[in-house]
Structure 1
């Protein structure tokens, strides 16, 4: 199979791209083309990301003159791949054969940057004057059947140890994948940021610190009297006075949030937000 001539990284990026924003073009009757090709539409605002992707597959991709399409020549590779990604009705499918090759973090990163979103649920507590922000990851892959998404859901968990759930939609085949726990969202973001830290135009999706600061700035203007706090899986697990004193002591001694979290058996983000709360009181 032609695909196996690519490096493991190239295989993962290409498979994720075909599952995501890309498509393998059809060969219509009467066409002079002998082979299929790859095509990916995008807006000029996403050019930097497409350049990042191009640099992972420079031997196969090129841009059109207006920088609105990422393309490939007609190649036996894509002719071979076409029946592995499309059924007889022309709908995209997820094959076990292709999924077995997708075992690198760059696969999940590419899929997320193509068709994913970092969504934030806002909960305002008027009594305490606090705004809680809860991040969720969505993979908008409603072009796939529920069965295929269930297969992908299982693969993501078994390969990357990230738990996602099926969520209903009104378009496509009616379902997308999403994280429902803050801990899983942060785990997801850590994975993709490690892979795409050299693509700053996508930090609004991959870098939670960057995105959280943007949200703080926005609410500081619209709700200056409120404290903006990121929810964590331990939001409702109260800290004892002893734990708070331990945090104060370790902070005064110069220990990092990570070290304090390990000492107290708490998550890193829980310590970050608790320290912010302690300083404000």
Structure 2
């Protein structure tokens, strides 16, 4: 099979999951098997439903699932094919997986972004309490843990995602891999992302916690029956100008109380935001804001 013979849906799913949990297996032999190389994806059996879904929607790409002897893990696999031999040359450099920038233009179906998210992404929640009002405010954050790739690759990927799917991801600092991953910065963007992909929760119920924002919010309410659990409002998101002001103010020694008064925000809001800025926006030992 050739890349050109795949549909846009198949290309999008294959490249999205290849950049995520998938890999192209090579034998120890220096020569390529006559039948070509093979796609493999190792996973916990707890995520079996998701891999069965992949197998069902792309039978021309994936051939089956094999449970390992331990019974706790399995692998989604393809047949050996020249397609994967070719993809190895496009996606690997010195045996290191890279983003094939030139192939992104062929992957315009949203399943590309869905596969990236379900393979290597997470829905992370920030929780803040308002004791006097007996409230818990939940703020969603969408991450794509792609720190195995270089920052310049992630920048291009981020631009492609925004241009093609209209979701804005920015670089976020990490301490492992190549030190950066991607995240959606704004609350309304994160909720819009989840709302767009929530219909897939019906096809993959085990992924509902990761896809259905209303369902996830209800789970949080069930866990705190004695409190009012609400989603943070988009209008409370910090603007780029406010973030830059906080960084500059901290450099100048301004207190959290003074910053909150200047920005007309609550003291604890500024405290939490500064923690977020240090974790996700500043390089270690440097006050540099990464856009």
TM range (shorter): 0.7 to 0.9
Count of aligned positions: 231
Matches within 5 A, 1:133-152: 133-152=138-157
Matches within 5 A, 1:38-57: 38-57=39-58
1-structure distance, mates of 2:134, 2:236? 16
2:119 match: secondary structure: helix
Matches within 5 A, 1:212-227: 212-220=217-225, 224=226, 226-227=227-228
More strand by share: 2
How far the C-alpha of 1:195 sits from its partner, in A, is 4.2
Gaps of 5+ in 2: 238-291
| Equivalent position of 2:15 in the other structure | 15
| Equivalent position of 2:5 in the other structure | 5
| Equivalent position of 1:187 in the other structure | 192
| Equivalent position of 1:82 in the other structure | 88
1-structure distance, mates of 2:29, 2:203? 43
2-structure distance, mates of 1:197, 1:174? 35
2:89 match: secondary structure: helix
2-structure distance, mates of 1:37, 1:201? 27
Q: Which of 122, 125, 134 is the matching residue for 1:120?
A: 125
Give the TM-score normalised by the residue count of structure 1: 0.78
**Which region of structure 1 is more displaced relative to structure 2, 227-236 or 209-218?**
227-236
2-structure distance, mates of 1:92, 1:55? 26
Matches within 5 A, 1:1-281: 2-29=2-29, 33-34=33-34, 35-61=36-62, 62-66=64-68, 68-88=74-94, 90-220=95-225, 224=226, 226-235=227-236
Q: Deviations over 1:214-273 (max 9, x none)?
A: 1111122xxx2x21111120358xxxxxxxxxxxxxxxxxxxxxxxxxxxxxxxxxxxxx
Q: Check the 8 A contact 2:9/2:107 in 1, yes or no.
A: no
1:112 match: secondary structure: helix
Runs of 4+ in structure 1 deviating by more than 4 angstroms, as ranges, are none
